[in-house]
Amino acid sequence: MDYSKAIAFFEPDTPYLLSTHRNADGDGIGALLALGGVLDHLGRKFRIIVGDEQPDIRFSFLAGFDRIESSGSLTGRPAFDRVVFVDTPTYDIGRVGDAALMLAQGAQILVIDHHAGRGDRADVRLVDSNASAASELIYGLARAADVPVSADMAKQIYAGIAFDTKLFKFSHPERAVKVCAELVDCGADPEEIADILFARESFETMKSLGAALSTLEMHMDNRVSTLVVDHQTYKMGGDLDIVVDHAMSIDGVEVAVFFKEETPGRYRVSLRSRGNVDVNEIARVFGGGGHQRASGCEIIKPLEEARKALLAEVEKRIPV
């Protein structure tokens, strides 16, 4: 992977905006914080601003979490000449929120991402669809720039990779394991990170899981499962990432589809596959994307219409 253009992007001594997609997850946040560590070493000023009302406190154990600003909490709207978007191929306002409005006229843009598919124009694109996570690319960037990977950075990057691969189950785990072994040598504690990210659930999460499991339906000879959380359940604030994993754990299920009603009538859809069906292809039909075995999209339709449309795309691809 050629990191030279990305390294050169940070040569100007000017303030940088670092941002990611709305509903910033472990990979987005881990990548942003580790990139902040790179810029600290280079002596560059930067701000990390995300389009969420509040950054997800699950990731508050990572150093630098308190440096993340919410666009909704800002007074005024700053403009930046140099902007970096991580873990997203597009910086459309629907994807990244108000950070899309913080680009000065003629702003230079760097995109760092690991999702397949085409994205918005950018002056520099550091994109590798064979990478396990955007955080892995930040690790590569730090190494290529001869920036020492501190214990804090190792923890941030490891957490990002572990979160996005679901502890090395998805998204090129063969690369993830190799990188994370090096990060352990740099100071990351795999037991601590796994415990915090995957072995602790809130009361709200368990209530949300119960509500979702009550909607479980099976399709196509029990090879496809669907689950739903309505807007009232969504507002409880539970961690919904575990829901679709439960749907995939059913013996014989090859594809799981999980509908989250983020606002009335607007569903964020998570898709999982054991590998025989490329759910990235399905997500892209609806303007989303991701990976062969884990992808997502957004649909603004009544639930039954949305379910029918998704299942029709699954049926086209599921092996007979």
pLDDT in the model for residue 147:
98
Q: Which residue has the higher pLDDT, 146 or 242?
A: 146
Mean pLDDT to the nearest integer, 145-160: 98
pLDDT in tens, 233-260: 998 888 787 888 889 899 999 999 999 9
Q: Quick one: how far is CA 264 from the chain centroid?
A: 23
Tell me the average pLDDT of the chain.
93
Q: Which residue has the higher pLDDT, 179 or 287?
A: 179
Output the furthest CA–CA distance in the chain (Å, rounded). 60
| Beta bridge mates, 269 | 259, 297
CATH numbers and ranges of domains, the chain: 4-198 (3.90.1640.10), 203-317 (3.10.310.30)
Residue type for position 78 = P
Mean pLDDT to the nearest integer, 154-178: 93
pLDDT in the model for residue 34:
98
Cα separation, 30 vs 100, whole angstroms: 20
pLDDT band at 118 (very low <50, low <70, confident <90, very high): low
pLDDT in tens, 187-228: 999 999 999 998 888 899 899 999 999 999 999 999 999 999
pLDDT in the model for residue 170:
79
pLDDT in the model for residue 160:
98
pLDDT in the model for residue 117:
64
Check whether 120 has a pLDDT greater than 80: no
Check whether 176 has a pLDDT greater than 90: yes
Q: What angle do CA 62, 64, 69 make, to 5 degrees?
A: 115
Cα separation, 243 vs 211, whole angstroms: 10
Residue 221: CB partners within 8 Å, gap ≥ 6? Answer: none
pLDDT in tens, 263-293: 999 999 999 999 899 998 999 899 888 778 8
Check whether 116 has a pLDDT greater than 80: no
Query: Taking the alpha carbons of 94, 97, 98, 101 in that order, is the dihedral positive or negative?
Result: negative
